[in-house]
Amino acid sequence: MKRYLILEDGSVFAGEGFGAPLTTTGEIVFNTGMTGYQETITDQSYNGQIITFTYPLIGNYGVNRDDYESIAPTCKGVVVHELARTASNWRNQMSLDEFLKQNHIPGITGIDTRRLTRRLRSEGTMKASIVDTADEHAFDQLNALVLPRNQVQQVSTTKPYPSPDTGHNVVVIDFGLKHSILRELSQRSCNITVMPYNTTAEQILNLHPDGVMLSNGPGDPTDVPGAVEMIQGIQGKIPLFGICLGHQLFALANDAKTYKMKFGHRGFNHPVREIATGRIDFTSQNHGFAVDPHSINNEKLLVTHTEINDGTIEGLRHRQFPAFSVQFHPDATPGPHDATHLFDEFIEMMDAFKKQPVTTY
């Protein structure tokens, strides 16, 4: 079935539809990973976005039970150059086409993803639609669309839930949580309580956790002002570790500002330098916003990591409180596992904080 990908700048790309036969609209972005399409599609940080895969062949190993990053993916569409005709892998349970149909996500194949990616790199991310007819009406509907600002609310859990174990008590704030974060904490025997995005500082403190994890998530961090207030209410009282959106919210809570990037970082090969040691880690990243380096309050925050390619701030640490954050994904699913040691640093931070004299709050 012939379908079209149309962009708000007037560009039209013709291809063949697969997945759900639906019309869809969202912000179009590109991901440079060679593998990991299942983890990418199920990553809630892509909520509301149409994902372009730059690797030319997608779907060749199917979809399996182990590589979900959320139960119900919320991306708006998938764009590929070539959809594999046959999925071949011992873990394969269904094809990508079947998976997208099952989750009501449209896809389009036969697209010149190289040309499309060059367009997005030069013009920036923009609104796009996958449609049956690339006519004036389709463009009118696309241009009239206002992208939602409540993306975190759409994907966060509405009720707390536990992931029990016998180690450190960790509260995870779900802004669009990846399952791989829970896996890393579980591998370290953490007793986890996942809480909604709008949880208050008081509710967290009442649980008496050993530490708090601020998860990844979609959208603009300034659209979640309540989370900034929550962080301000708990930092200094409990060790904090922020990832991706959690990193940006941690920065906002300490007087920094964020900005929308032209086309963001989305892939699994981004080199990051740890400033103190010079160590280089290749990292998994998925973000369209970043912390403004000119807004850093040097009395509160220390920049710990930078992206080698463009100098983006990739890590922060609080100068007075036991709290740090990274823009990339140390849980690395998919991607290199260079930075998983940061979860060990979080455990060490909680242990050190426990040894300090008890204070009341």
Fold of 2-147: Glucose Oxidase; domain 1 (3.50.30)
Q: Please check the confidence at residue 311 and state whether its pLDDT lies above 80.
A: yes
Q: Please check the confidence at residue 111 and state whether its pLDDT lies above 70.
A: yes
Is 286 part of any known ligand binding site? yes
- SS3 state of residue 162: strand
> What's domain 152-354's architecture?
3-Layer(aba) Sandwich (3.40)
329 is catalytic: yes
For the chain, the domains span 2-147, 152-354
75 is catalytic: no
Report pLDDT digits (tens) over 158-199: 999 999 999 999 999 999 999 999 999 999 999 999 999 999
Is 263 part of any known ligand binding site? no
What number of other Cβ atoms are within 10 A of residue 354's Cβ? 12
Structure tokens at 309: 């390619």
Structure tokens at 271: 């080199």
| Model confidence, pTM | 0.96
In the set 75, 174, 329, 338, the catalytic residue is: 329
Q: Per-residue pLDDT averaged across 96-114, rounded?
A: 98
Is 163 part of any known ligand binding site? no
Q: Please check the confidence at residue 361 and state whether its pLDDT lies above 60.
A: no
Is 217 part of any known ligand binding site? yes
Beta bridge partners of 5: 13, 130
Query: Do 152-354 and 2-147 have the same topology in CATH?
Result: no
Q: Give the whole-angstrom CA distance, residue 238 versus residue 243.
A: 16
**Which backbone phi and psi does 44 adopt, to 5 degrees?**
-70, -10
331 is catalytic: yes
For the chain, the residue count is: 361
Q: Please check the confidence at residue 360 and state whether its pLDDT lies above 90.
A: no
In the set 244, 247, 305, 318, the catalytic residue is: 244
Residue where the block lists tokens 């011992």: 90
